[in-house]
Structures are given as structure tokens and as C-alpha cells.
Amino acid sequence: MGNDTTAVRLAPFTLGLPVRFTHTDPAGYVFFPRYFEMLQAVVEEWFTQALGLKYADFILERRLGLPTAHTECTFEAPCRLGEPLEITLYLEHIGRSSIRARFVGRVDGEQRLVARSALVVTNLEDGRPLPIDDDLRRRLEAYLAASGT
């Protein structure tokens, strides 16, 4: 990325995820494990849209992973089939080989969930953590500064 304007423009990053039939249980509420799939979708789109680094290239070309080492979620109210869920990613910390992110899910401005995750940069060949390289660190720092978190 030649400059950091993309990160600045899209911070904090929000992804709209309409609640689909495939997300829900027979009662029409989001089945809780599906939220974790949604959080992964937010991370992938955040990389691509806000950090200016295609997530697929991070995995397939750089041969780096970003697995979740820890996650926790508080479900404040259920989400239902057809609702327009939006999840915002706030970067809270950049470590040597990991980042901490907070996700806030809202429907029409009403907070429905808050999650926190620790994601670790790893070598896909052996699964070991790697220091965040200068390119990714620069993108993360620009996002953190732009989002004011």
C-alpha cells in the first residue's frame, strides 16, 4: 500500500452482515457459533478493505496465518432472521506477534453483542508465531491511529 489513506478512510471498519436463514436456528435466532464465523468474515474484509492487504494473499502468497488464540463474546440481545447486523472492528492492541480486536455488533444502532479476540500471526508451515512484519505493522498502526481506539 503506497499510503495509508484507505486505513484512515475506513477506520473503524464496519461490515454489514444481514442475518440469513443459514445463520439461524429453528426459532429464527442466530445460532451462537455462527457469530464466530461472522467475526472471521469481518477480519478478512477488514484486512482487504481497511488495511489494503488481500486476506487471501496473506494466506496463500505470504504463507502466513492469523488464527484466533482467544475469543470471548457477550450476547446482549438476540439477532433474528432478516435483521441488518453490522459488526465494527476496533483494534485495541498491537503486540510482537499478535493483535487484540474488539467487535461490536449492532442492529439499527442497538448493540447486540461485544466480542474480543486475540489473533496471532503464524507461519503456515509449522504453525509457530512470527513477529508482525514491518508492512503489516505499519498498516495496523495507521488503522489504530485513524480509529482513535
Strand (E) positions, the chain?
13-18, 64-65, 68-75, 84-94, 98-107, 110-120, 122-123
pLDDT at residue number 117: 98
Q: For the chain, first and last CA: distance in Å?
A: 22
Q: Is the pLDDT of residue 8 over 70?
A: no
Q: Any idea what DSSP says for residue 14?
A: E
Query: What is the tally of structural domains in the chain?
Result: 1
- pLDDT tens, position by position, 52-72: 999 999 999 999 999 999 999
- pLDDT tens, position by position, 74-131: 999 999 999 999 999 999 999 999 999 999 999 999 999 999 999 999 999 999 999 9
Kindly state whether residue 24 falls inside one of the protein's structural domains.
yes
Q: Could you tell me the residue range of the domain that residue 135 belongs to?
A: 13-147
How far apart CA 11 and CA 117 sit, in angstroms, is 18
How many helices and strands (H and E) does the chain possess?
4, 7
pTM of the model: 0.92
Kindly state whether residue 78 falls inside one of the protein's structural domains.
yes
